[in-house]
A and B are shown apart, each in its own frame.
Chain A
Amino acid sequence: MIWRAVIGSCLLMAAGFVSSPQAQTPATYRIENGEVPAPLTAEPGNPARGRQTVRDMTHVTCLICHALPIPEEPDHGEIGPPLAGIGSRYSAGALRARLMDPKAFNPESIMPAYFRTDGLNRVGAEFRGRTIYTPQQIEDVVAYLLSLKEP
């Protein structure tokens, strides 16, 4: 079990308890048996919106490194494994955990953590203290990845 409860987390957790699940912050989630089992938001993930999000150039598109079954996009990356069929190989909780913090699985991973703000060095001013994805974007992308089943 990996805990990401860090300095200042008491405050943040308190906030998380009293407000909606939208208030999930990078400091409060934890990975249990390779999963973040509970969704980060009350609103269920929307796979169509997730498909748009993973293509979005302004949100560190997964296409930088991965091939995805999105034929209308050119130049899929080949740094990470292709993601077609990934929804047959992982649960929602496992996909959520891998997206939020890949370094929890492999400290040497070059995949960026899409929901983490600590342990980073010299982050650009406009991105400081912010996660790459919002909680809702995490849920949307998880729903999209889950929809990618083996033929």
Chain B
Amino acid sequence: MAAPLPRWKLASALIVCGLTGYSAAPPRAADSTSVPYETEGRKSGYLFLTPATRTLQDDEFQNPGAFALERGRDLWDAPDGPDRKSCASCHGDAATAMVGVAARYPVFDAARNGLVNIEMRINAERERMKAAPYAYESDDMLALTTFLTAQSRGMPMTPDIDGPARPLFEQGRAFYEARRGQLDLSCGQCHDDRTGLRLRGDVISQGQVNGFPVYRVSWRGQASRHRIFAWCNTSVRAEPYAAGSPEYLALELFMAWRGRGLPIEAPSIRR
């Protein structure tokens, strides 16, 4: 770790820092009530964006995630199921009822004896309303998760990894550390060891999940945490898991802990 970087590596790292306007002082999130984008060396993907993209994220009128946010707000209030209930019928105003929820998730659910993330909680609630579940990457699911997550904007991620969640957390860590695919790479080989370097056209970030659901410019739409997991798996020519699978839930818990203290950012933008 302490070995000096080869000259070509050092030079390129410096160039990248220059290009992305990356500075050493931990900058604060735009909103003064937010925790900073960097804490104890953990860095949000926000810090790997160009200044222009950051400005886009910070401007609530230009942020492309605002469409999902508004649609999610409507869904929160929309009656559904035979009893014509909405989320609001039971929970009231999301701006008070849902504060801090996304910052704690995923959580261990005793009834299922497993982890539940925001997407699965939404479908569990819809089941209670006798409404049809949303498909994992559907526009409605992405919209409602964006809206729900935004109620914790600026709050630090603080997942609970103790108690019954512990073995699942360790499973997530093992997933993160395992080499896989025809390219034989682990998550950490890119996101711990080579951050700031250019992998073809992309500058590799720490792969933090605090921004999700993100508006991904290259996909022209909102994307969930599990979708980027599958994308990174597929990029190394590994067989991905299904969105919502126990493997990705365990990975999500590990990733949330790995980025502990970083701010929830939705609606956020990534490349």
Residues of chain A at the chain B interface (Cβ within 8 Å): 60-61, 63-65, 74-79, 81-82, 103, 110, 112-113, 119-125, 127, 130, 132
Contact = CB atoms under 8 A, between A and B. Distances in A.
A82 B8 CA distance: 8
B189 A110 contact: yes
A127 B237 contact: yes
In the complex, the 10 A-B pairs of residues with the closest C-beta atoms, listed nearest first: A75-B201, A78-B12, A112-B183, A127-B182, A121-B180, A78-B198, A122-B180, A124-B239, A64-B200, A124-B237
Given A78-B9, A79-B194, A124 B200 contact: no
A124 B197 contact: no
Given A110-B189, A122-B238, A123-B237, A78 B182 contact: no
Interface residues of B, number: 25
A65 B182 contact: no
Nearest to B204: A79
Given A81-B6, A112-B184, A123 B239 contact: yes
B239 A110 contact: no
B201 A124 contact: no
A119 B6 CA distance: 29
Given A123-B238, A127-B237, A77 B189 contact: no
B185 A124 contact: no
Given A79-B198, A123-B238, 16 more contacts: A64-B199, A75-B198, A77-B197, A78-B9, A79-B199, A112-B185, A121-B178, A121-B179, A121-B180, A122-B180, A122-B239, A124-B239, A124-B240, A125-B239, A127-B237, A132-B182
Contacts of B182: 60, 112, 120, 123-124, 127, 130, 132
A78 B183 contact: no
29 contacts: A60-B183, A63-B200, A75-B198, A75-B200, A77-B197, A77-B199, A78-B12, A78-B197, A79-B194, A79-B198, A79-B199, A110-B185, A110-B193, A112-B182, A112-B184, A120-B184, A121-B181, A122-B181, A122-B238, A123-B180, A123-B181, A123-B238, A124-B182, A124-B234, A124-B237, A124-B239, A124-B240, A127-B181, A132-B182
Contact of B197 (A61, A79, A113): A79
Interface string B167-191: 0000000000011111111000100
A65 B199 contact: yes
A77 B198 contact: yes
B189 to A, nearest CB: 5
A124 B238 contact: yes
Nearest to B13: A78
B184 A113 contact: yes
Contacts of B6: 81
A75 B16 CA distance: 12
Nearest to A78: B12
Contacts of A125: 239
Interface string B214-234: 000000000000000000001
A81 B8 contact: yes
Contacts of B234: 124
A120 B238 CA distance: 10
A77 B240 CA distance: 25
Contacts of B183: 60, 112
A119 B193 CA distance: 22
